[in-house]
Each structure stands twice: as C-alpha cells, then as structure tokens.
Structure 1
Amino acid sequence: MTKALVTGCAGFIGSHLTQRLLNDGVTVIGIDGFVDNYDVAAKLRNLAEIGSHPAFTFHSTMLQAERWKDWLDGVDVVYHLAALPGVRNSWGKAFAEYVSHNILATQLLLEACMQRPKPPVIVVSSSSSVYGTMQGTLTDESAPLRPVSPYGVTKEAMEQVCSVYVKAYGLPITMLRYFTVYGPRQRPDMAFHRFFRQMMKGDPVVVYGDGQQSRDFTYVTDAVEANILAGRHAAPGEIFNVGGNREVKLIDVLNIMGTLMNISPKISFQPGPAGDSLRTCADIRLAEQRLGYRPQVSLEEGLRRQLADMRFQPRS
C-alpha cells in the first residue's frame, strides 16, 4: 500500500489510524466533516496530534460533497470510519441524521470506488451494536443481528449495503465490528472518558444501570492494527469482530480506575437508558485465523494510558 484514504480522520480511531499509516510511510488523504456530535475542539486537537506531515492531505468536508477525483486518485485502500456514533442520541428526530451519515454517505463512497479503473480495497468500520444484547458465551460473526438501538439499526443496514455491492459487483469490501474502543482521544461522551473526568473533579461517577452490565473492551491501537491487517489480508465480503479478548463488568472497570487514581469512586446509579446492550463478548478467533489479529494491550494498561493522556488535555 502506498496511498490511503481515511474518512473520519479527525475522530478518535481515525486520527490514530492516520498517524499509524503516516508512520508506516503511507501517503494519506484525510476527510472529516466535523459533525458536531461532540465538541469540535476535541477533533481539532486530534488533528494537531497528526501534525503537518508532508504525506498528509486534509479535506474539511462531508462525504456528500462528492469530490471523488480529489479523494480517490491513486488510492490503494479506503478506511471508512466516518459515521455518526452514539446509541443514546440516535432516537427521535436525530435518526434521520444517523441514516444520512451512516448509510447514505457509505453508499456514495461505494459508488465512487466502483467507478475507479481498479477499485481500492475498502475497510468499513461497523459496531458490535449490530448484535444487541449478546447471549451465551462468546459471540462470533455468524450470530443473529438484533440491534436494540436506532444507531445499531443503521450500522446493520450499512453492512447490508456493503454486502450487496460485494455480491453484485465484487467490490473488495471488508467490515470490522468494533467492541467498545477506548484509549487516548476517546470521545468525551463515552463512558471511560466521563468516568475519569468525574473522578478528577471529585464528582460522583454516574453509571446508567446497576453496573453489572459487561463489555468486551478494545484498546484503540489494537483497533488500528485490525484495520491495517484487514487492508492487507481480508477477502471481499468478510466480516470480523474486533475485541479485546476479555469480558469485564462495568463495576469492575470502575474499581480498576479507582486503583489507578488512588481513590474509592463515589458512584451514582441512574436508570439505564433505552438501547444499551447489557452484554457484549467478542469471539475474535476468525480475525486471529484470517488476519493474524491479536490484541496487545490489557485493560489495566490501556486505562493507565488513557488516564495519563487525559491529565494533559483540557477538561471537557
């Protein structure tokens, strides 16, 4: 790979991926529309972390602008991370925005890639939200898709759109279902960021639900590695879980955070909102076998790194 397009390059995962590609000697075209689902200043800080690398060209615009000649010329791999994230905000009138950013914009991208003389490999970011609340032991990629939020519905629909382009046109698309990514630059609306910030201020930590809900947490550089591996090794139409290989209850995460900060967190339990999964648990064996994906950063180490980063960032 010599040239890549990263959509959503100023976001949490996108900025880390862009940095990794540049460090690997790849020329990167980055696109970000600065959707105001959270403080744009955080995204600008992410861009500042990338810096003025001579191999990086940035376009501040939405995919709907359709400047494909500028964006796709000479590109070998497209990493499509641009999306409107967040379960709790996807209800009501906001659903139309989720459809626009998560489904319609993706279809525009696929159409543009299909028109290239040689279509680039396309690695699409999906979410464990497509599964809903998981049952049994580990959840593999063949599990039923039962999203419990409008956000999850848009991610499932996006996957279906990608699948029909693979079947109809052989477009080289692979999809990655992330399981709760965390680490430095995590969005301020996400749980770990909120928990650390509340502890820093001495405020009670607000937990929605009883704290017994569990998650499979993925450190951001492991998610980035999954993208790189998928761009190199995945076959058209393949879908992979990207997890941290460990299911942990939220209350236990808070205890780890408290230990890192040398405090005993004060917890305020609030009613759980509609659309939250009670359990996620990734079976990552397919990604291990097909891509060579193996998560490298433990939850304890990842939380330590996120805390260290947040202590140097403006409060948000």
Structure 2
Amino acid sequence: MKYKNILVTGSAGFIGFHLSKYLLENYDDVNVIGIDNLNNYYNPMLKEKRNEILKNYENYHFIKLDFSDWDSLVENLKDREIDLIVHLGAQAGVRYSLENPWTYIKSNDMGTLNIFELARKLDIEKVVYASSSSVYGGNKKIPFSEDDRVDNPISLYAATKRSNELMAYTYHHLYGIKMIGLRFFTVYGEYGRPDMAFWKFTKNILLGKPIEVYNYGKMERDFTYISDIVDGIIKSIDKNFDYEIFNLGNDNPTNLEYAISLIEKYLGKKAIKDYKPIQPGDVERTWADLTKSRKLLGYDPKVRIEEGLKRFCEWFLKNKDWTLKI
C-alpha cells in the first residue's frame, strides 16, 4: 500500500466500515482517519455498532463531523497528515430523495465539493470516490458500460452522483488531482443498510410480516457482495490512473423473485409477498459491464448471489437480538 494516512468519509456507513476494517486488518502501517456524522437516516445504532468495531483498532482515528460543513471539515483536518481520500460518505437511497431532496444537495453536492476542495487545499494527490449505477438512469442498452451516455438521471440521487463525476473531472483538469470514480451496483452483505431490500426482506420474513415486492417481482439487479466491492476499491487505490470511472458490479443480474426464494431457503421460512408497482426513480434492470474494470483494474468479483445471501442470512440470524430492532 503506497498510502499511509487514508481519510475515509462515511467510515461508519456500510461500505466505509468494511473498507476501513479491511485496511486496518491487512496493512499494519496504514492509519485510517474516519469521518462520519452518524446521522439518523436509518437507526444510528447500526452506525455506532460499526464504529465501535473500528475503534478496537489502534490505527483508526474517528472524528464525528458533517463534511457538508466546510468550516468544521477544515478545522478538524487542517493539521492531519492525509495522503489519500476515499470519499464514500453520501446521502444514500433513491426513494428518500423524493421526500427530502434538500439533504441530497447538501450532502452529495456541497459535501463532495468540500471534499474535493479539501484535497486541493491540503495538496492531496488522489481521491477515490463513490458514484452509483443509478447514473445510468433509464438506459435501455444492457449491460451498462462506462462509455454509455449518462445525462438522463431519473432520480435526484442519481443526478447528484452524476454531478459528483463532473466535479471530479473539473478538479482533475484544473488542479491535477487524480480522480477515480466507482459506480457501485446494489451492494449487500453483513452490516448492510436496513433501508435496502435484503435487510427489509429478511427482517419481515422472520417477524412474519409482509414484504413489499416492487414491479410485481419483475425486477433484476446486479447485486454485488461487499467483499468484492472492497476488493475493487483497494485495486483502485493501488493502480496509478490520473482520471477514470469504473463499474464495480457482479456482471450477473439476479431476478428479485429468485433472490427472495434464496432468503426463504436460508431462513427456513416463507415470505408473505405484497406486490406493488414500480416506484418512481426505480429501474427494472441493472447490469454492470465489467470489461473495463477487468482489463484496467484486474477486478473480478468472486461471490455469487447464492453464497452472498447465505452469508448475509447467517449473520442476520446470529445477530437477530439487535438486527430485528433496526
């Protein structure tokens, strides 16, 4: 690992937690400076649990702050030695962007601008940042390639992620900062987000409550297991690119009904299905074209949906004394 002092934004979030944990466990000489505002978009207990695990590592240095607050960001980090920024913090979720659009502009646009400005101010060589498969919008061409046009977002969340990519190019062009954008495809796994389908399905099935199945089950997602995503981020850190955008997916779209059947199998319990129409901002199908990621990053996802959901369900059951409460 070339970089010794790595700032991870959203370190108590799902992906930020797993990346930080991987760095701390596999690189003795790496310091992780984690920042997170521990907000209540979902139950903060989960973020606190993730953060408590990370605090067991002596090379983890946590600062509670909101990176959309420029003054707080600079005050807390101006004297820190930072070699690399991995910007994973964001206001996530497509559906919530219909209810509270302002928080997406504040966190994803203003917050990302602040992170890029911080990189410029502190003369940081490289930023690896999270984008999303949602930028592909309603594209009909399948699979989704990094070369596809992405100027028709169908949710405000997608629009903010696309604007992050455009800002990243501007900061690379103007200031020479190396910018690597990663378009994540429906990430799942242990300590995942409770607002996402697999957590909600698992919880409600165990509680004997109905699960909402959108588009009457006619949905396909390129579900990507968390360890594969972390592997892709690490490869993006290690490779020396000036400016690139990569898909990080599984290259294996899964039908929603099939995914539900796997959860039923691993829980040993049938779901009560409440079929619903497709929701505003949702797309019927996602599929990552990994040609570029495989060639340039050496990225090759290993965990298929059957194994990934098995691991997730086993973890959920092992921790159901608190997972069912979130």
SS of 2:191's equivalent in the other structure is: coil
Structure 2: distance between partners of 1:72 and 1:299:
44
2:56 counterpart residue number: 52
- Does the 8 A contact of 1:134 with 1:279 survive in 2? no
Please identify runs of 4+ aligned residues in structure 1 that moved more than 6 A: none
> How far off is 1:73 after superposition?
3.0
Within 1, Cα distance between the matches of 2:294 and 2:78? 32
Structural mapping, 1:1-316, within 5 Å: 1-25=3-27, 26-63=30-67, 64=69, 65-67=72-74, 70=77, 73-92=80-99, 94-117=100-123, 119-145=124-150, 146-311=152-317, 312-313=319-320, 314=322, 315=324, 316=326
Deviation per CA, 1:245-303: give whole Å up to 9, x if none: 20111111111111222233221102322101111110011111111111111111111
C-alpha contact (below 8 Å) 1:234/1:291 kept by paired residues: no
Conserved in 1, the CA contact under 8 Å of 2:78 and 2:122? no
Q: Does the 8 Å CA contact 1:5/1:71 hold for their aligned counterparts?
A: no
Q: TM-score, normalised by structure 1?
A: 0.95
Q: C-alpha displacement at 1:68, in angstroms?
A: 5.8
Point out where structure 1 has 5 or more consecutive residues left out of the alignment: none
Taking the aligned partners of 2:244 and 2:79, their CA distance within structure 1 comes to 23
What SS does the aligned partner of 1:59 have?
strand
RMSD: 1.5
CA deviation after TM superposition for structure 1 residue 49, in Å: 2.3
Q: Is the 8 A contact 1:209 1:269 kept in 2?
A: yes
Same amino acid, percent of matched pairs: 32
Letter in 2 for 1:91: L
Q: What residue identity is the alignment partner of 1:96?
A: W
Q: Distance in 2 between matches of 1:265 and 1:29?
A: 41
TM-score (norm 2): 0.92
Instruction: Decide which moves more: 125-134 or 14-23.
Output: 125-134
Following the alignment from structure 1 to structure 2, what is the Cα–Cα distance between the partners of residues 261 and 116?
49
Secondary structure of the 1:272 match is coil
Which deviates the most, 304-313 or 215-224? Answer: 304-313
State the number of aligned residues.
314
Cα distance in 2, alignment partners of residues 165 and 69 from structure 1: 22
Could you tell me how far apart the structure 2 residues matched to 1:164 and 1:47 are?
A: 33
> Are the structure 2 counterparts of residues 207 and 171 from structure 1 closer, same or farther at C-alpha, using a change threshold of 3 Å?
same
